[in-house]
Structure 1
Amino acid sequence: MAQFSDLEKAIDTLVNQFHSASADKSPTLKTDEFKNLLSSQMPNLMKGVGTDQAFGAILRKIGVHDGEGISFKQFWGLIQSVATEQFGRLSGQKGSSCSCILL
C-alpha cells in the first residue's frame, strides 16, 4: 500500500472535513454548516470573527452571496488565502508574500 506524505494527508483531511460537514450530503454547505466547519477546524481564523458581520466578510471574500451554498471551490479559495497569510507570518519577513499562482 502507498505511503502518503503529510501534504497528501492534509489535502485528504480538507476534502473529507468539508464533505462531512454537510448534514444532507449535498455538494455545498449551508452557512451554519460552514461556520461550524471553520469553528472546529480553523479556530484561529474564527477567533477574529466574533460577529455575523465579520463572518459575512469572509463569505464575501470567497465570493458567496446571501442565501447561496458554499462550494468546495470557494472553501479552497479560503484555504489559499489563509495559507498565503500563514506563510507571511511564519517566514518572519515583513512584506514577504507567497507568489504562488493557482490555476
Structure 2
Amino acid sequence: MAQPSELEKAISTLVNQFHGASSNNSGTLKPDEFKSLVSSQMPNMLKGIGTEQGLGEILRKMGVADGEGISFKHFWNLIQSVATNQHSILAAAQKAGCSCLLL
C-alpha cells in the first residue's frame, strides 16, 4: 500500500488542525480561535495577524464578513494564497540563482 506523500500529510494536518481549533460544533472558527490556530501553525507566514487591524485585513482577504464565522472554505482560501505566494518567491529565487548561459 502506498504511503501518503509529504503534501498529503501536510493537507491532512491542516484539515485536522482547523477542525480541532473550533470550540463549537458549527464547523467554523471564531476570530480568536482562528488567530490562535494561525499563530501556532503558521507563525512565520502570517506575522501581520498579531494586531486587530492585521487580523481584520486577513479576514477580509479571505472573504469573511463582519460577525461571520470562519469556515474551512475561508481558511482554505488563505492556504491557497500563502502557497501561491510562496511558490512565486521560490520560483523567482531559482531563476535568480540560475547560472545558465543562453546562446
With structure 2 as the length reference, what TM-score do the two structures score? Answer: 0.83
Residue of structure 2 equivalent to 1:57? 57
Q: What is the identity percentage for the equivalent residue pairs of Structure 1 and Structure 2?
A: 68
**2:28 aligns to what SS in structure 1?**
coil
Residue of structure 2 equivalent to 1:69? 69
Aligned positions, number: 94
Question: Could you list the runs of 4 or more consecutive aligned residues of structure 1 that deviate by over 6 angstroms after TM superposition?
Answer: none
Residue of structure 1 equivalent to 2:84? 84
Please report the RMSD computed on the Cα atoms of aligned residues, expressed in angstroms.
1.6
1:65 CA drift (Å)? 1.0
1:8 CA drift (Å)? 1.0
Q: Deviations over 1:12-56 (max 9, x none)?
A: 001000000001232100110001000000101332333211110
Amino acid at match of 2:18: F
1:2 CA drift (Å)? 4.3
Structure 2 alignment gaps of length 5 or more: 97-103
With structure 1 as the length reference, what TM-score do the two structures score? Answer: 0.83
**32-41 or 18-27: bigger deviation:** 18-27
Rg bigger for which structure?
A: 2
Structure 1 alignment gaps of length 5 or more: 95-103
